[in-house]
Amino acid sequence: MSLFQVDSLSFSYRRVPVIDGLRLTIDEGMVIALLGPNGSGKTTLLKLLLGLLKPARGLIRLRGKDIHDIPRRELARQLAYVPQVHREAFGFHVFDVVLMGRMPHSSFFSRYGAKDEQIVWEALEKLGILHLAKRPYTEISGGERQLTLIARALAQGVRVFVMDEPTNGLDYGNQVRLLERVGRLADEGYTFVFTSHHPEHALAIADRVVMMQSGAIIRDGAPLATVTPDKLAELYGLPP
Amino acid sequence: MTSAEAALEETPNNTGRLSHEPDEAELSCSASAWLLQMSRSQFPLLGSALLLLAVMLISLGLGKYPISVKEILLFLGQKYFGVSYFSADRMRLLNSIIMEIRLPRILAGALIGAALSTSGAAYQAMFVNPLVSPSLLGVLAGASFGAALGIVYLKSWFAVQVSTFLGGLIAVMISVGIARVYRVNTTIMLVLGGIISGALFSSLLSLVKYLSDPYNQLPTIVNWLMGSLTLSDRSQVIKTSIPICLGLCVLLLLSRHLNVLSMGDEEARSLGVNVQRVRLIVIVCATVVSALTVAIAGTIGWVGLIIPHFVRMITGPDNRKLIPATILIGAAYLIVADDISRLAFSYEIPIGIVTALIGIPCFAFVLRNARKGWS
């Protein structure tokens, strides 16, 4: 059974269609890059895949079940959202941010236990950010924040990571370091679906590239076959 | 201890990984090691509990008839543990001063302080906005209007409580609604929404005052809205304390959820939280507890804004520590403010004036201090 099965998916934002009749199948264990110009619907597709938006038409199946029939808590044990790096008002410790990943594993009024904390320490260690554990999240660099959010996804105990422009706002060195981390996790069998504005990042770690334009998929295939100068020119509307 | 924790312990200053920036790294690491210890221990919570206890004991002795802490302790010992020290006459006098006059008022102050501060902390976490508080969101204005309306037109205390709460709830809905309608989710929009909502209910309150009976009702409304613990009737305080305590307990239990909510809606949902339900529970609880303080003691501003800020400097923003510490420190703060309102001048001044006079300069200071984190 495939991980995601998306059928004739449509979504409009204030009556403007953003996604139109999209079909997509995603298998477990793959690293999938979504490329496309601004406004092509990449981020909307991610949010639909996460069940954060409700499609106007069409169906998204996660492991065979309609994603909107899966309760939020259960969904959070199967899928993790790694948002774009942000800076929020409150400087929670990195440890406490990662601990939030344990939220779907505890009941409404309960507290985090020693097991949750141990899982957090392991996630921090795996991403090489143990030394940041007690630093405020607002005072670390963008790359470190992105690693923190990935660690949180890991602590969620999921096998599937959905990432929105993970390298956005990072300098070149941090981009490379982040891609290396993602590549290493992918080798362990984790699934990644990520959007990017950098075709070379798709070449570096993706197993499959999906190119989107005006809410539809125009090309879908192996990185070496899709990320070519003429196809990129077509995708981004550049002169050939 | 896990292996990871052990690794962290082995390199206490942990400068190895950050050696490319020795000065800054060493500084931040010694600071973080200190923070680590501080947060591991229950120091902030224990400290605040002791502070509250000390403030209560000292305040019991303060007044026109001063009683020393030693006498208070001996009195309590004699009353509850059979120590014999005072004569029966002296006991009777102390009993009426301590147990009948001062203790109820101190408990009311503690309750109100805890309620206002905690609701402030909860609103701040939920709206991801350190600039909001019960008064800035218009809750206190809405509650005042509801209460005044209740005093003029409703007879039972229960009905007054309900109309106070509804006034507060409608006010907060308007402030939040304005930001929602324009789809602008910024600090400034929420604050402006609160100003609009507060102004609306202030004018409605003026209308109620204008229409009320100027000989009986108007003085009651005016005196009481200035904020004072003098008028608080003991049985009313007890009745009001039940919903307030319930609301505080729920907020305490939801502190993990508040943490997740302050990462933003989409993230909270992706972490499995039913955002709409949790938000509704938090708004209702925070509004119940802060609006009902108006029913007991009128409008007491600035507490819900200042205390969470102050406590956050000690505990950090983690609501699992912040909320319980805020309950304790907020209670202690309001008792002290009430002591000042009772004792600073030869006659009592409204406590709302005291909290404003303390709160405003503190806020001006905090504003400068916390600026960097609010982008």
| Residues A80, B270: C-beta atoms closer than 8 Å | yes
Does residue A11 lie within any of the structural domains? no
Which residues from chain A sit within 8 angstroms of residue B259, using beta carbons?
Answer: 92, 96, 100
**Partners of residue A96 in chain B, C-beta under 8 Å:** 259, 318
Cβ neighbours, 10 Å, residue B76: 16
Residue B52 lies in a domain: no
Residue A22 resides in a domain: no
Q: Please give the structure tokens belonging to residue A70.
A: 């899966």
Q: What range does the domain containing B369 cover?
A: 67-374
* Domain assignment of residue B348, yes or no: yes
Contact A86, A102 (CB under 8 A): no
The pTM of this model reads: 0.88
Number of Cβ within a 10 Å radius of residue B12: 11
For B272, which of A72, A130, A133 is closest by C-beta distance? A72
| pLDDT tens digit at each of 375 positions of chain B | 444 444 444 433 443 333 333 344 444 555 565 555 555 557 889 999 999 999 999 999 999 899 999 999 999 999 999 888 999 999 999 999 999 889 999 999 999 999 999 999 999 999 888 888 999 899 999 999 999 999 888 878 889 889 999 999 999 999 989 878 887 667 678 888 999 999 999 999 999 999 998 998 898 888 878 877 876 677 888 889 999 999 999 999 999 999 999 998 899 999 999 998 999 999 999 999 999 999 889 999 999 999 999 999 899 999 999 999 999 999 999 999 999 999 999 888 999 999 999 999 988 887 775 555 543
Q: CATH code at B358?
A: 1.10.3470.10
Q: If we measure between CA atoms, which residue out of B108, B346, B370 comes closest to residue A136? A: B370
- CB pair distance less than 8 Å for B39 and A80: no
Per-residue DSSP letter, B277: H
- Structural domain contains residue A195: yes
B128 lies in some domain = yes
Please check whether residue B114 lies inside any domain of the structure: yes
Please give the Cα distance from A75 to B268 (Å, whole number). 12
Q: Is residue A6 part of a domain?
A: no
Give the count of domains, chain B.
Answer: 1
ipTM: 0.94
Supply the CATH number for residue A212's domain: 3.40.50.300
For residue B64, the SS3 value is coil
Whether B61 is in a domain gets the answer no
> By residue range, what is the domain housing residue A168?
29-50+70-236
In a domain, A131, yes or no: yes
Q: Which of A83, A90, A134 sits opposite B317 (nearest CB)?
A: A90
- Whether A124 maps to a domain, the answer reads yes
CB contact under 8 A, A77 and B317: no
Kindly identify which residue of chain A lies nearest to residue B257, measuring between CA atoms.
A103
- Asked whether residue B98 is domain-assigned, the answer is yes
